[in-house]
Chain A
Amino acid sequence: MNAHLGYLGDQHAQRLVPAETIVRLEKASKTFPGRDGQPVTALQDIDLTVPQGSILGVIGRSGAGKSTLIRLVNGLEKPSSGKVIVDGADIAALPEGALRHARRSIGMIFQHFNLLSSRTAAQYIALPLEVAGYDKAEIRTRVEELLALVGLTDKRNRYPSELSGGQKQRVGIARALATKPKVLLSDEATSALDPETTRSILDLLARINDELGLTILLITHEMAVIRNIAREVAVIEGGRIVEQGDVFEVFTRPHHEVTRSFLADESGRALPPYVQNRLTPEATPGSQAVIRIGFRGPHATDPVLSRLARDLNIETNILSGSVDEIAGRPFGTLVVGVPEQSLAVTLDFLNQHGLDTEVLGHVA
């Protein structure tokens, strides 16, 4: 029995014990001196907790403050007020020496990789270890482990100019993991990569999270990144977090306009232009009501429209739709037109079946 507990303790500790917080921002604000003397607020009253072992994505448009936010976590920026706690230490209050030491347990990867042109992949991965004072033999073994982890053993002696974008980011990831950090910060790590390479880098990050139990805090402006690997999401706009929570919950029932706008970029959510252009807020004689139906989880593949036609004899007109996956769970969206006189009945019927509905407007 004890042996079993020991086994469970090792392998599944994170799942059995309520997740501990590894990064916590408390009312963190950051203002920069502006050009005309007026201070510019980059972040305001940010409260954010990142549970140990999770993948939390912060999504926002450029200029929303996400870059500043992630730099607060490793002390590259200091908050103007509020606290930044990482692994129990208040990063903002640490003196330089202690901060440098703390940074060894906070890895960071970058949009433009930031590899040294003068170092080969292996030499670059060794750099944080040299800086931390590891001896040569230790460095050699650790670098080989890391090259194997990111699948670049055969590229160890290549310079960045001889590597593709995806390979460069793999080197960046290996370098970030060299000192065995507890948190990995990802600053738009896939934004300079094509969709296929993005996918492979995200897979690698997910695998690292899973195998090493490494907590990942990432910032991005790409919905696909959040959808593919994040478990929790915070939506940031104008220096404030406007919505946060479980990725599936947030994106299937978005409350804030910005969250909706990220979803609108996704295929299937956006209205086709020929509908969008004719949409009016009020019903007109002979018009149809346009409703968006959200199918979440188990309902995502229900044949609800055929039932609507069969049971209530209401014909719907499909305008756009998709079935997708968010955080590994199916999520469908349908935009349909229904006769105005059947609108109330249709909405009742759909809500009874546990579907989310939203009346978008009317088309003649």
Chain B
Amino acid sequence: MSPEMINLIANSTGETLYMVAVAALIATAFGLPLGVFLATSGKGELFAAPWVNRVMGVIVNATRSTPFIILVVAIIPFTRLIAGTSIGTNAAIVPLTIAATPFIARLIEGAIREVDQGLIEAARAFGATPIQIVRKVLIPEALPGIVLGLTLAVVSLLGFSAMVGAVGGGGLGDLGIRYGYQRFMPEMMLAVVVVLIVLVQAVQSIGDRLARHLNKRIRHA
């Protein structure tokens, strides 16, 4: 493999990591409160607002059911508004974030709903406010599950980021399409796939390890 090729792969890997990291961070910043809200705003719950809950649920589902490649194209005007352009790595971050936010919100909602209702009752019984219950009970208790959910989200984002390559987003997907497919360089295609596999493996094992470390339900020998 030529030094130019290695250089290309390194650059593209950097772009992918950048897109995924920024999109994951922003999506978590929005997805965490949204997930907490979804998990606590049902009828009779901490922040009971059943109607708002239902509306949010519909919006989240609608976003999640839109195929990613269509979402990318459909929101081009919005992308241009935010990023100033609709092509390139920075522009790709916009649809990635929008796709990941409801996904992360649902994962966090699920993790929080796993927390035993008895803990909420105990916290209410000693006079905690709903916000305190979220900060000191729900999130810490759900943290191992949240970390596993975020791991899953980052892995999915790696896949999505390869797709934005198809619309000029840069990164490993872009490299694979342009060199591996259009210029018919199977070794380049293979290299891209291998790098993606390694990235996914790395993300998953870091996430698993962190979740295990945070999970105090299991005795650590």
Contact = CB atoms under 8 A, between A and B. Distances in A.
A112 interface: yes
- Main SS of the interface on chain B? helix
A116 B125 contact: no
B120 to A, nearest CB: 9
B129 interface: yes
Contacts of A127: 123, 126, 136
B218 interface: yes
- The residue in A117, A160, A178 that gathers the most chain B C-beta atoms within 10 A of its C-beta is A117
Contacts of A91: none
Contacts, number: 72
A311 B118 CA distance: 63
A86 interface: no
Identify the 3 closest CB pairs spanning chains A and B, nearest first.
A114-B122, A128-B126, A103-B127
Contact of A101 (B118, B127, B215, B216): B127
Given A76-B125, A103-B127, A118-B140, A131 B217 contact: no
Contacts of B126: 103-104, 107-108, 127-128, 131, 175-176, 178-179
A142 to B, nearest CB: 14
Contacts of A185: 125
Contact of A130 (B118, B136, B215): B136
17 contacts: A100-B129, A108-B122, A110-B121, A110-B122, A112-B116, A114-B121, A114-B122, A116-B140, A117-B217, A118-B214, A127-B126, A127-B136, A131-B127, A131-B128, A160-B216, A175-B126, A179-B126
Contacts of A132: 127
- Main SS of the interface on chain A? mixed
A117 B126 CA distance: 18
Interface in A116-135: 116-119, 127-128, 130-132
Interface of A: 74, 76, 100-104, 106-108, 110, 112, 114, 116-119, 127-128, 130-132, 159-162, 175-176, 178-179, 185
A223 to B, nearest CB: 25
Nearest to A159: B216
A100 B219 contact: no
A75 to B, nearest CB: 9
A112 B118 CA distance: 8
Interface in B89-128: 116, 118-119, 121-128
